Copies of this chain bind each other. A is one copy, B any other.
Amino acid sequence: MTTSTLINRRIVLASRPVGAPSPDDFRFEDGPVSEPSDGELLLQILYLSLDPYMRGRMSDARSYAKPVAIGDVMEGGTVARVIRSRHPGYREGDIVLSHSGWQSFALSDGTGLRKLDAQAAPVSTALGVLGMPGFTAYAGLLTIGQPKPGETVVVAAASGAVGSVVGQIARIKGARAVGIAGGADKCAFVRDELGFDAVADHRAADFAAQLAAACPEGIDIYFENVGGHVWDAVFPLLNDFARIPVCGLIAQYNAGPDAYPGPDRLPSMMRGVLSRSLLIRGFIQREFVDQRPAFYREAAEWIASGRLRYKEDFVDGLDRAPEAFIGLLEGRNFGKLVVRVAPE
């Protein structure tokens, strides 16, 4: 395989969506693959992670990260194979975690790469349970949530990449884990495969009653990764001194500016914050970067001992990334969503 025969397919942001993204907001571009210069390496992308935060990068609303520019490659975490190296730290065949985005090849100068050991764990897990989503769960739950034995921890999207880890770590720490998921299959998985103590189906008409029944002693930690109507069922159940780490609001990412006519729930929310001494804290996992070594070590142990389970939802082919991402925002994935870009 010589570089000159390779074609790099890139998926670029064609337009900023208003409301739900559509396939037209993405554009496919094919181009040449460059030879690495001295100090560079050429990566072939094997796996692309699809995550809810990417919806934020498609928008130019104020956020913690710059938006993707129109015409630029969509941002994203990737697992890649080194296929050419002129960098002393990497050899051809090395597998690395990179942030190469929605494309099939990428040049790198080595910045931000992390070598992966394919013997230790499937390398795709570096995008999920052993990667950014798993670490988001770990850092947010332990640092902000601070679960104590016997407390009740509630998390939504409980079959997903973050929620599944939140609940299982809560249990490891001696807390009760209550999951919220959409539909019978996901609920059964959360309860029976992941071992949550209880589960509530947010698509059910009696969702709020299910959640209340699942939390007879109220909620001490609500790990907020969805927003939307789940909040209305959670809020009345929050105990005094409850903690609410906020890492995502997927249910409202697609909402337009007029999506919330009323009533205005902010005053009653602030009233609850005051009368119940609630803590609400937004966070991005990179704030807690110094905890990553502990996370990698502990999570690997928990996986090895069977205490931390995970589910990956693979989609085959880069071309299907837009459709899969649109589905992710609608909750159509089941487990950590990963695009297989090339065979491992």
Residues of A within 8 A of B (CB): 56, 61-64, 224, 227, 231, 240, 246-249, 252, 255, 258-284, 287
Q: Nearest B residue to A247 by beta-carbon distance?
A: B274
User: What's the least CB distance linking A238 to chain B, in Å?
Assistant: 11
Q: Are A267 and B282 in contact (CB under 8 A)?
A: no
Q: Are B265 and A263 in contact (CB under 8 A)?
A: no
Q: Are B279 and A280 in contact (CB under 8 A)?
A: yes
Q: Are A270 and B62 in contact (CB under 8 A)?
A: no
* Bound complex: CA A238 to CA B263 (Å): 24
User: What's the least CB distance linking A303 to chain B, in Å?
Assistant: 28
The 3 closest A-B pairs by CB, nearest first: A262-B262, A260-B264, A273-B282
User: Would you mind naming 17 contact pairs between A and B with Cβ atoms under 8 Å apart?
Assistant: A61-B271, A62-B275, A64-B275, A64-B276, A64-B277, A227-B270, A249-B271, A260-B262, A260-B268, A273-B280, A274-B282, A275-B282, A277-B281, A277-B287, A278-B280, A279-B279, A280-B281
* Bound complex: CA A255 to CA B270 (Å): 13
User: What's the least CB distance linking A278 to chain B, in Å?
Assistant: 5
Q: Are B278 and A281 in contact (CB under 8 A)?
A: yes
Q: Nearest B residue to A225 by beta-carbon distance?
A: B274
Q: Are A227 and B273 in contact (CB under 8 A)?
A: no
* Bound complex: CA A258 to CA B281 (Å): 28
Q: Are B249 and A274 in contact (CB under 8 A)?
A: yes
Decide yes or no: A246 and B264 within 8 Å by CB, A281-B279, A281-B280, A282-B278 being known contacts.
no
Instruction: Please name all residues of chain B whose beta carbon is closer than 8 Å to the beta carbon of A258 when the two chains form the complex.
Output: 263
Q: Nearest B residue to A271 by beta-carbon distance?
A: B249
Q: Are B282 and A277 in contact (CB under 8 A)?
A: yes
Quick one: which of A224, A262, A265, A271 has the most chain B CB within 10 A? A271
Q: Are B277 and A252 in contact (CB under 8 A)?
A: no
Decide yes or no: A274 and B246 within 8 Å by CB, A252-B267, A266-B266, A281-B280 being known contacts.
yes
User: What's the least CB distance linking A234 to chain B, in Å?
Assistant: 12
Instruction: Please name all residues of chain B whose beta carbon is closer than 8 Å to the beta carbon of A269 when the two chains form the complex.
Output: 266, 269
Q: Nearest B residue to A224 by beta-carbon distance?
A: B270
